[in-house]
Amino acid sequence: MPSPKARSGGGGRSGSVPAGGGGAGGNGRYEFMSLTRTPSHLLQRQGSDPTSARLRASESPCRRRGSGSSSASTSSAGGQPVPEEDCMRLNPSTLGIALSSLLAVDLWLSKRLGVCACEDASWGSVRPLMKLVEVSGHGIPWLLGAAYCLYKSDSAAGQEVTLNLLMALLLDLVLVGVVKALVRRRRPAHNRMDMFATFSVDRYSFPSGHATRAAMCARFLLAHLVLAAPLRVLVLLWAAFVGLSRVLLGRHNVTDVAFGFFMGYFQYNLVEALWLSPVVLQSMMGQLE
């Protein structure tokens, strides 16, 4: 009957176990120990290789979770700061997501609605009509028309209305030019710069000057002219069609026109606050003389 000692070390296998196997409790199970421990010569190689050190640091649980802001701003190998633009932002703000989504929808919808942007577009045959509507909302015809009516008017009430309309048109040009110069949003990529009488600031898109002018003039005419119901509806349709033509021609994005209507509507409140009466005008003329 062989002894327990002979069974545990029989077959000559104990002599083939490496010396490091004794660290596992003397049970000779070197194969399990090698799975949980890294040999010393590999540890020395990894410690001297910076690439391996970086790989181990990137595979660590803390690095994978990305829980600390310091791990995103510094590298594990040499402690060098990582540029802020290279760091991944895992928690963008809700406002940033909403604005980015709105911009994407705006660009997509504006491109889909630009059906008259060129002659080869799906509605390219009606492009001359859209350009005629564009001219009807341009600032130069409105300024010339208001100046002519002021010159031909023979009543104090008519002169008062046309004078304030002329001042409102000049105010619209100044405000739209300032906002465009501040925002500096480029026009849509599918736009053709063949507009009537453009200026340097007209290369910018936000807001739509035609939309602001149409909304302000429509509200001005409805408030100070006695018009029949069909003419009042026609004025509103003209203002809406001017704004729509800006998107169909590819001149502006949808948000440019929407903000232009909003801005023009409230510009009329400013015109009412700065309203020039004949008495004020006569006093100004007397001071100039």
The angle formed by the CA atoms of residues 165, 209 and 181, to the nearest 5 degrees, is 115
Report the distance separating Cα 19 and Cα 251, nearest Å. 83
Given phi > 0 = left and psi -120 to 50 = alpha, else beta, which region is 73?
A: alpha
224 is catalytic: no
| Joined tokens for residue 205 | 């898109």
Distance between terminal CA atoms of the chain? 138
In order of 167, 261, 267, 268, 288, the CA distances from 181 in angstroms are 21, 19, 18, 22, 33
Q: Where are the alpha helices (DSSP H) in the chain?
A: 4-9, 30-36, 40-48, 50-58, 61-65, 69-73, 94-113, 127-136, 139-152, 156-183, 209-224, 229-248, 254-273, 278-288
41 is catalytic: no
**Catalytic positions, written as ranges:** 210, 252
